[in-house]
Amino acid sequence: MSSIHSISTFINQFQGGTRPNRFRISGNAPDIGDLFGPEGIYCMASALPESNVGIIPIPFRGRIYKFPGDRSYNEWTVTLLDDNGIGLWQAWHLWSEKFNSHVDNLADDRVHQPNFCTITVEHLDHQTDTAIKTIQLQNAWPVQVGPVQLDMGAANQLTQFQVQIAYSHYTGIDLAQSAI
């Protein structure tokens, strides 16, 4: 007789879980190209993006009733290796330059839709490299290109930098497939 609390039931249902180090991220900036390296190999860390539903508080007879409000999306952060060849840090700055120039404080004539891109985040199965979750950040653009830290005392390390990315919304979650 199988119990819902048995270890074998847990093992059979859990199926090995997922791994945080199994992911792939891709995206191409208009006129710039690949932002994450071939197959996203220069992306060292990130997360599936979050979303929030705001709260509309309504006072009623000494209590606060909370109605669901509008959905919002926080900026998304990714950590990248600074490469020695194609210059990812430079590529991110070139893309950022289209939205506001470092020198002239002006935007590219095509500041709207043509300069945005779609960034795809895939959480991969730990056995087959098949995407088990795929999220697409729509109308994405770089808000902040972080510094590349230089340090004479740093040994046995590769340089990295972070990028904060704004986006209008994400797609790709199939809520009809939800196990909840």
pLDDT, tens only, 56-82: 999 999 999 999 999 999 999 999 988
Q: What is the mean pLDDT of residues 145-163?
A: 91
Per-residue pLDDT band at 180 (split at 50, 70, 90): very low
CA 174/CA 180 separation, integer angstroms: 12
- Map residue 70 onto helix, strand or coil: strand
Sign of CA dihedral 93, 84, 21, 151: negative
Assess whether pLDDT exceeds 70 at residue 27: yes
pTM: predicted TM-score of the whole model, two decimal places: 0.82
Hey, which residues does 64 pair with through a beta bridge?
Answer: 59
**Residue of 55, 23, 54 whose CA lies nearest to 119:** 23
Residue 99 burial by CB count (10 A; 0-12/13-18/19+): exposed, middle or buried? middle
pLDDT digits (tens, 9 = 90+) for 123-147: 998 888 889 899 999 999 999 999 9
A 10 A CB-CB count for 16 gives 9
Q: What is the 3-state secondary structure (H, E, C) of 117-149?
A: EEEEEEEECCCCCCEEEEEEEEEEEEEEECCCC
The topology under which CATH files domain 19-175 is: Pnp Oxidase; Chain A (2.30.110)
**Residue of 36, 7, 11, 9 whose CA lies nearest to 24:** 36
The confidence score (pLDDT) of residue 179 equals 47
The distance from CA 79 to its chain's CA centroid, rounded to whole angstroms, is: 10
